[in-house]
Structures are given as structure tokens and as C-alpha cells.
Amino acid sequence: MPKKRITTVYTGLGDDGKTSLLGGKRVRKSSPRVDAYGDVDELNSVLGVACTKAVDPRVKELLREIQNALFTVGSDLATPLDSTFSPPRVTAGMAKRLEERIDEFLPEVGELREFVLPGGAEGAAWLHLARTVCRRAERGVEEFFGDSEEGSKILVYLNRLSDLLFVLARVENKAAGTGEIFVDFGRGEDG
């Protein structure tokens, strides 16, 4: 697909509280669709920070791959099915790829028998934050599409991505030599 060139940063077209979907349809910036792809955009930004903090080069490379895939997710969300614009769409193969990466990394960190506190190494902490933003994006997509099949591949992709981000946070802690911090259910409670 040829690269799309951005020739200007501002247009003034959003000054009325509306934005254009891909294909030209105008919607309110507060619409559930815009919220959903806004959450995906936020996730992509958090992954950008996580990538700068990651110490494992495989994690860095994978995060860049995921960031590119999230542009497909965002363009899919920003394009109604009846649009004349035909962007790349999320496929079942994209979620399958995430499952393969989970299966690749999971043996390195082993099974968990306890809950893990988000944190540890800086890269891991950012990946845990990305995981929670991903979960919010997933909820936003579900809120927008409801029971419609239209968003099902996006939901599966985001669900797998949040699982992968959890595994990658554990990989980062291991790569940084930081042990995982387990939940101490009695700590911090009165009594």
C-alpha cells in the first residue's frame, strides 16, 4: 500500500467538536467510535514509551511490530463498513500471531502461582500500564460495537494483546534482573 503523506498538522475542521472518519463522514469527537480509536492511539503512545525503556531487544522489536499493527486497528475502527474508503482491516491472523508470541515467551518466565503487582523494572512497569490501557481500549471497542460481529476481530486482537503485554512485562523484569513482585494480600490492610 502506498504511504499516505501528511501535508499539514492543522485543518481547523475539528474546531466545531466534530472529526472526520476515514471516508469523510463527520461525527462528534465524544462519540463511542472516536473514544475507541482514541484509546487505541493512547495505547500506541504508551507502547512507544515502553519500547524506549525495554532492555530486551526482542521486546523492543515486537513492540514496534505491535505499534504498526495498532495503526491497522485504529484505521479499522475509524472506517465504517459502508465507507468508500478501504483501509487495511484487522484479521484473525493478527491475533494468531500474538498467540504465537505468547507461546514463544511464556516458557522463559514460567507459570504463575501468585498474583503479580505491576512494576519492577521500568520497561516492565510501562508494559503493565500499556496492558491496562489495552484493557480500556477493549472495553471501549465492546461498548461501541455491542453484540455486533463487526468488531469481533478487533476485540479478539486486543484481548490477546493485553495477555501478551502481561507476558512481556514479566520478560522485561527477567531481562533486567528484577524479580517479580507478588501480591501480599495482608499488607496494607488495617487490622
Query: What's this model's pTM, rounded to 2 decimal places?
Result: 0.89
Q: What is the pLDDT of residue 14?
A: 62
Beta bridge partners of 27: 19
Domains, the chain, in order of start with CATH, read 29-175 (1.20.1200.10)
Q: Cell 471501549 identifies what position?
A: 140
Task: For the chain, give the secondary structure using H, E and C.
Answer: CCCCCCCCCCCCCCCCCEEECCCCCEEECCCHHHHHHHHHHHHHHHHHHHHHHCCCHHHHHHHHHHHHHHHHHHHHHCCCCCCCCCCCCCCHHHHHHHHHHHHHHHHHHCCCCCCECCCCCHHHHHHHHHHHHHHHHHHHHHHHHCCCHHHHHHHHHHHHHHHHHHHHHHHHHHHCCCCCCECCCCCCCCC
And the C-alpha cell for 89?
482491516
Please give the Cα distance from 138 to 93 (Å, whole number).
Answer: 18
Q: What is the pLDDT of residue 2?
A: 62
CB 169 within 8 A of CB 128: yes
Q: What is the pLDDT of residue 149?
A: 83
Q: What is the pLDDT of residue 190?
A: 61
* Per-residue pLDDT tens listing for the chain (191 residues): 566 676 777 777 666 777 766 767 776 777 888 899 999 999 999 999 999 999 999 999 999 999 999 999 999 998 888 888 888 899 999 999 999 999 999 999 998 888 999 999 999 999 999 999 999 999 999 999 988 888 899 999 999 999 999 999 999 999 999 988 888 887 766 65
